[in-house]
Amino acid sequence: MNPTKVFITTNFVLPVTKNDFRLDEICDFKGSVIDLSIPFFLFVGNLQLGKNIKGMVEGFSHFVHDNPYVNLLIVGKIINYDAEMMSIIEKTSNVYYLGYQSREHVDFF
């Protein structure tokens, strides 16, 4: 096999080339500034029922109880979630919905 023809990608994400892009400030969907110096988990994808965002947020709430200095950032378009789901995200400590973000922002995260 010719090694120049082998290209590995994880979850359909292309490897990031050198990117000088820097993000001075990022806000959640309500306009609150997120401190990116705090370690975080990042979910990137459409918010739809099949992805069990509610389960992820509930699981994270148990995790953050013993690890209060970690955030969960959720990035993506809302496809078919309702106000109840957004209410759960808003009420859960250290969970932030950032809405849709450009590819440049996602690569930065």
Cα first-last separation, the chain: 34
Mapped onto helix, strand or coil, the DSSP state of residue 33 is strand
The reported pLDDT for the residue numbered 43 is 93
18: amino acid identity, one letter: K
The reported pLDDT for the residue numbered 93 is 87
Span 33-47, pLDDT tens digits = 888 889 999 999 888
Q: What is the pTM of this model?
A: 0.76
Cα 2 from Cα 13, distance rounded (Å): 22
Average pLDDT over residues 4-28: 62
Angle (nearest 5°) at CA 77 between 80 and 62: 80
Joined tokens for residue 9 = 């990608």
